[in-house]
Amino acid sequence: MRNLILFLAIIVVATSHNTMAQTKEANPADVSTIDGIMKAVYDVISGESGKARDWDRFRSLFHKDARLIPSGKNPRTGVIATTVLSPEDYIKRSEPFLLKEGFFEREIARHTDVYGNIVQIFSTYESRHTLADKTPFARGINSFQLYNDGKRWWILTIFWEAESSEHPIPKQFLRSKG
């Protein structure tokens, strides 16, 4: 019985930390509209090299069970795969690159489908190391799944693939719709 109580106490502490880690109060301008949350997510990851990102703001955009999922072909192995990350995993994985290289990602087109409190968005993006870069070093599509709980919008998933010679961005995703 004592072991069961100890086990349950550990579970409560472990899961409450995960929930608390992503419950910072969001700026209402960031989460009250679809446009607001989309602008906020691109804004918070973008910045010059050496500029720390506002990771508390980043966390505030995501549902506690959210996932970020990069996908594509590994250039060394040729294997097509995905990696499932929590917002915390994304921060740990991307922060060194963002600080070293500089990174500006902007949305160039959007396709939005809405049903009730759920939204699916194909957001075509361009990435640059500086705002002065004339051409992007990468483009691709971020697939967002959003949820509105009646009070605000939450990001549940961002699933993305970078453009490649094998998979150029189709013309219909270079124009906004919806």
**Residue 83 contacts residue 101 (beta carbons within 8 Å):** no
Q: What is the mean pLDDT of residues 43-68?
A: 97
**Is the pLDDT at 1 greater than 80, yes or no?**
no
Average pLDDT over residues 160-165: 96
One-letter amino acid of 54: D
DSSP at 131:
T
On average, the pLDDT of the chain sits at 89
Q: pLDDT confidence of 74, banded at 50, 70, 90?
A: confident
Amino acid residing at 123:
S
pTM, entire model: 0.85
Query: CA separation (Å) from 35 to 55, 87, 95, 107, 112?
Result: 20, 20, 25, 11, 11
Q: What is the pLDDT of residue 22?
A: 52
